[in-house]
Amino acid sequence: MADPTYTPPKVWTHDAENGGRFASINRPTAGAREDKDLPVGEHDFQLYSLATPNGVKATVMFEELLEAGFSDAEYDAWTVNIGDGVQFTSGFVDLNPNSKIPTMLDRSGDEPVRVFESGAILMHLAEKFGAFLPTDHTRAEVLSWLFWQVGSAPFIGGGFGHFYAYAPEKYEYPINRYAMETKRLFDVADQRLARSQYLGGDEYTIADIATFPWLAPFVTGGIYNDAKTFLSIDEYEHVGRWAREILDRPAVRRGRIVNKAWGEEDEQLLERHSAADFEGKKI
C-alpha cells in the first residue's frame, strides 16, 4: 500500500513501478517507440480505434452516416489494442502525435487529411457529409453540448473511473471528489433532457453521439464495476430515457461492437470493412 501521508518531492520523477493497470504503457514522454506502419484498407476513411467510450463515438458516427444513406462514408476500422502499445508505433504517431484513440485518415480529397481527437472526428464528418450538425441557430447549442462532453470526459474516465475501478489503491478523497463531479455532470444532462428530447434540442446530433458512449454504460451498468449502484444512476430518469432511445438505433447497435476486443465473441468485431462483417454478430 502507498503511504497515505505521501509528501510530493520537490521535483517529480517517473517511477515505472507505479501506475497500476496502465503502468506498462504510461510514460511522461510523447513520440513513437517502435517503427511500424499501420494497416490500410480500400476505403477513403481509415479508422484506428478501440471500442472505449471515445472510440465508440467514431464508429457510431460512421454507422449513422451509412444508415442515413451516405454510401461514401464506407470505412475500414482497425483495432488498436492500447494495452499492447500499438498507439506508440510510428504509423499511429504520424496520424496522432498524442497517441490516443480514435484517430482517422481521410483520403477522400486531393490530399490525405489526418484527424485526431474524437470531437474533431465527429465535426469533420458532420461537416463533410452535412449531417448530424445543424446549420441554423441551433448549431451553437449543439456545439456547446459537444464541447461540454469533451471537457467533462476526463472527470468521468481519468477521474472517477480511474480512482474507483483501476487505481492500485482505494483512497476516499479522490473517489469522493470525482464521484461528486460525475453525479453533477449527470444532473446537468438530466436537467437538459427533461426539457428536450436530445441534448441539442429536437434533433439527434453529434452532441448525442459524443455523449452517449460515456453516459449510457452507467445506465446499463456496463462500466466501472458497480458504478451504477454506487452513483445511484437510476435517479437520472431523463438520462435513462435518452440512453435507452439511442440504444435502440440500429447504427448505434452496430457501432458499439466495432473494434471491441472483449466480452462475448458474437459481440466483437475487431475489424470492420463492409456491412457484411456484421453477419452473425449480436447487434
- Convert the pLDDT of each residue in 158-203 to its tens digit: 999 999 999 999 999 999 999 999 999 999 999 999 999 999 999 9
Question: Per-residue pLDDT tens for 23-35?
Answer: 778 899 999 999 9
pLDDT of the residue at 23 = 73
pLDDT for 33 equals: 95
Q: pLDDT (tens digit, 9 = 90+) per residue, 217-244?
A: 999 999 999 999 999 999 999 999 999 9
Grid cell, residue 41, equals: 484498407
Which pLDDT band holds residue 13 (cuts at 50, 70, 90)?
very high
High-pLDDT (> 70) share of the chain, % = 97
Q: What percent of the chain has pLDDT over 90?
A: 91
Query: For all residues of the chain together, what is the average pLDDT?
Result: 95
What does the DSSP assignment read for 135-194?
Answer: SSTTHHHHHHHHHHHHHHHHIIIIIIIIIIIISSS--HHHHHHHHHHHHHHHHHHHHHHT
Give all strands of the β-sheet with 45-49 in edge-to-edge order. 75-79, 45-49, 103-106, 113-116
Fold adopted by 139-248: Glutathione S-transferase Yfyf (Class Pi); Chain A, domain 2 (1.20.1050)
Segment 47-52 shows an average pLDDT of 98
Are the C-beta atoms of residues 64 and 8 closer than 8 Å to each other?
Answer: no
Q: Distance between CA atoms of 165 and 151, rounded to whole angstroms? A: 21
Helix 139-154 and helix 206-220, axial crossing angle in degrees, nearest 10:
40
CA distance 124 to 116: 10
Q: What is the pLDDT of residue 15?
A: 83
pLDDT at 274 over 80: yes
- Identical fold at 45-132+257-278 and 139-248? no
pLDDT category, 17, cuts 50, 70, 90? low
- Long-range Cβ contacts of 131-137 (<8 Å, 24+ apart): 131/64, 131/65, 131/68, 131/70, 132/61, 132/64, 132/65, 132/204, 132/205, 132/206, 132/209, 133/205, 133/206, 134/200, 134/203, 134/205
Architecture of the structural domain at 45-132+257-278: 3-Layer(aba) Sandwich (3.40)
Do the Cβ atoms of 48 and 101 come closer than 8 Å?
Answer: yes
Mean pLDDT value of segment 33-61: 98
179: burial class by Cβ within 10 Å (0-12, 13-18, 19+)? middle
pLDDT for residue 19 is more than 90: no
- The domain limits of the chain are 45-132+257-278, 139-248
- Indicate the pLDDT class of residue 2, thresholds 50, 70 and 90: low
Q: What is the pLDDT of residues 57-79, one digit of tens each?
A: 999 999 999 999 999 999 999 99
State the pLDDT at residue 24.
Answer: 73
Q: Return d(Cα 60, Cα 258) in angstroms, integer.
A: 9
Per-residue confidence (pLDDT) for residue 18, from 0 to 100: 64
